[in-house]
Structure 1
Amino acid sequence: MSGPNDNFDPKQVAALDPAAVDGFVADALAAIEGATTTAELKQARHDHAGDVSPLALANREIGALPPQARKEAGQRVGQARGRVNQAVAARQAALAEGELNAALAAERVDMTLPVYVGPQGALHPVTTLIDEMIDVFVAMGWEVADGPQLESEWYNFDALNLAPDHPARAMQDTLWIDPPTAGKLLRTQTSPVQVRAMLERGVPLYIVSPGKVFRADEYDATHLPVFHQLEGLVVDKGISMADLRGTLDHLAKTMFGDVRTRMRPHYFPFTEPSAEVDLECFVCHGESVGNPDRPCRTCRSEGWIEWGGCGIVNPRVLTACGIDPEVYSGFAFGMGVDRTVMFRTGAPDLRDFVEGDIRFSRSILGGAR
């Protein structure tokens, strides 16, 4: 490259001639406009606006001009390069928009076509039934209470009127935690939650407490060492057996439809008087009783199905929880959720409930009433 001088060679700076610069611009604009893809535009930009493009080389020759000619040549080349860069930017935007539209059209998904949906899980039937039963009580204004599964002996037995020598302790096949002297056990019922609620929440009290319970039962078609209960407790002024009967009738009709209930005298240490609650068989409605031509497997042709236990809260339990039994009374009830699922769906074997087979949950939920 020649240095600046007053006697410059016109041939040396021919690239700065106005006609030459206009030609460079015309070639660049034609190449840019002719680019149909961003890749072609990138090449055109390299050829006509890059470091070795004709306009870039012309810009380098400005230094070879005499000082009085540099300003005009610089403006001419600068404007030319600006036009080319503007054309590149405009074409880049147009091509990008066109390529995006083409990609969207090519990748369009027809939402009306059937698609493969991956396998989905399902709520366990016990979980589903617990939610339905809770909804019944929440709609009546009750609260849901929960408590620990590893429980203290006092909450599980003593506060519920089961003294250390009470025979009912042996009836429940308790699973104790080592060492036995610690007085810790896996709760045999959800009743400890009721004791905790009376101590912590006070009265009046309307709660329902679902959860797992643990007993050393055999693992067979009708027994599990881990199963589920749902218990309810009401403590208020003027509570009677009639309130208990009305509550259970409402729950039974919500769960099973138009069925009857009955109560049979029974014994529970934490309620007095106590009763067992039976449901009229919702399959045969009692028509199988004494009728060998129409046997019923659900109720074994007895017409009734044992559902759970209930009764008026024993005054000793209220006293243990700091509630005056002369002012307040209450009722409590409880039933096994797993067997309730069996009643509603006809599931033949409780062991299917703990196998974790998604097909079982789907079949039970699909056949539930």
Structure 2
Amino acid sequence: MERNKKIIIGVSIALGVIALGLGAYVAWRNRAVVADIITDISGGVIRPLESKQERLRVISSREVSGYWMVTATSAPALMYADGEGNILRVDEAGDELVYERSIPNIATVRPSFDGSRVFVESKGAGGSIFRLFDAIERLPGVTLEGISEVTWAPTGTEAAYFVTVGDSMRLRIQTADLIGLSDSAKFTEVLGVPLNDFTIDWPQKDVLYMAQRPSAEYVSDLWRVDMKTKNVKKFLSDRGLMVQWAPFGTRALKFTTAENGAHKLALINDQGVELAAVKFITLPNKCVITAPMQMYCAIPRDQAAFARLTLPDDYLKRGAYTQDGIYQIDIANNGIRAIYEGDDMAIDATNLTVLEDKIIFINRYDRKLYSLDLQ
């Protein structure tokens, strides 16, 4: 087993220069403290929460294509796929290579609820290719043929996926290990839809959501699928529509862009009702909801520059990078606490996870995995 020494923090301002070569770099020259410039969170006077000592460090030795937590074992493990398609485990001693096999062009990793299995998505000439990986046995599973999109059930071993049949796509539910094994393997056919570039989320036991790709240039739809009744209805519709569900499934962050370019970020419930519209701008994939009215967000510190972007397009296409502060947001009490506002590193955080007393995230500048202490 290969073990790499832990990386000592030493990320320099040169990262900002690299970003300039990749696309527009937002907010390095005009670094404001977000807690000082926003007037409120969701209404009323801001109540600064208790300040804590910050500790930020790099915890992966390689570039990260995606990561996940394995909680199915007695000792939870943090695992990631590197830029070359290998699977590694992170612990106090460094990285441990657990599966060495090149999976080119990894786009996402999609873990089951306990992290014991994960779909690894890579991009090929014909579109997405999904491979099933067993994180407990550290063994690869089947490569899923003809599957254009897949997601796990909120609990258990089932997955929902789109498979192309003729000139339509079929949404099916099946035990993950049986997908693609044979035509006779048992599955549940939920519905058929016209060919489209849908993504799917399964945040609630009997409810699945199908979303069109977001863009400020057009109105996209989010459809709600009742898996018991197979009833389908339009749930949300807007320009630039992005929705990210909380791990517990009853709250989500909704981002939209108006025709005049104005952006809005709101907390919604599982009925699509807005519970609060926050007064700062960031994207849902730069936040994690940890309680019905609480979340942690990476917020671009130059809010004016971020608001001038065409969102979410510029960010998702890597045409823009940000300099973030990381904050705890208490919407119920209109509270905000700065977790990190340092200037010593260029931080553009995405894919946030709260793990005990830490926030784990990917920094888009160097594509490494970072850990930030909450205390």
What band does the TM-score fall into relative to the shorter chain? under 0.3
Scaled by the length of structure 2, the TM-score of the pair is 0.20
Higher relative contact order (CA 8 A, sep 6+): 2
Normalized per residue, which structure has more helix?
1
Scaled by the length of structure 1, the TM-score of the pair is 0.21
Normalized per residue, which structure has more strand?
2
